[in-house]
Amino acid sequence: MDEIEPVLLPIDGTLDLHTFRPAEVKHLVPDYLEECRKIGLLHVRIIHGKGTGTLRRTVHALLARLNIVADFRSGDEASGSWGATLVTLRPEEPSSASVR
């Protein structure tokens, strides 16, 4: 059986879902947001396209369940309109090991 190679994504605050299968989104979005948060990127744009709205609804349902998400909304005219979602992440809590 062939092993599936992981896809390396730049962690730059923009996640374009056009190149992924819908089944990959439920793991991809939370993982990507967590990586953004780890490097201090707290404002993220997820591009899901306009289409029928199914992928947008899936993304919004995922975001609503994630504790690391402070807020999300559809993009404005400059950021993709309703074909993109703008996400604000909660900052990482300092670890108890670093607090003295």
7 within domain boundaries: no
Containing structural domain, residue 54: 14-91
5 within domain boundaries: no
Classify the C-alpha dihedral 44-49-53-55 as positive or negative.
negative
60 within domain boundaries: yes
Cβ burial of 18 (10 Å; 0-12, 13-18, 19+) is exposed
Residue 36 has pLDDT above 70, yes or no: yes
Between these two residues, 3 and 44, which has the higher pLDDT value?
A: 44
Residue 100 has pLDDT above 50, yes or no: no
The predicted-structure confidence for 56-89, as pLDDT tens digits, reads as follows 999 999 999 999 999 999 998 888 898 999 999 9
49 within domain boundaries: yes
CATH number of the domain where residue 51 is located: 3.30.1370.110
Q: How many domains does the chain have?
A: 1
Q: How far apart are CA 29 and CA 55, in angstroms?
A: 12
Q: How far apart are CA 76 and CA 68, in angstroms?
A: 22
The per-residue pLDDT for 2 is 66
Residue 97 has pLDDT above 80, yes or no: no
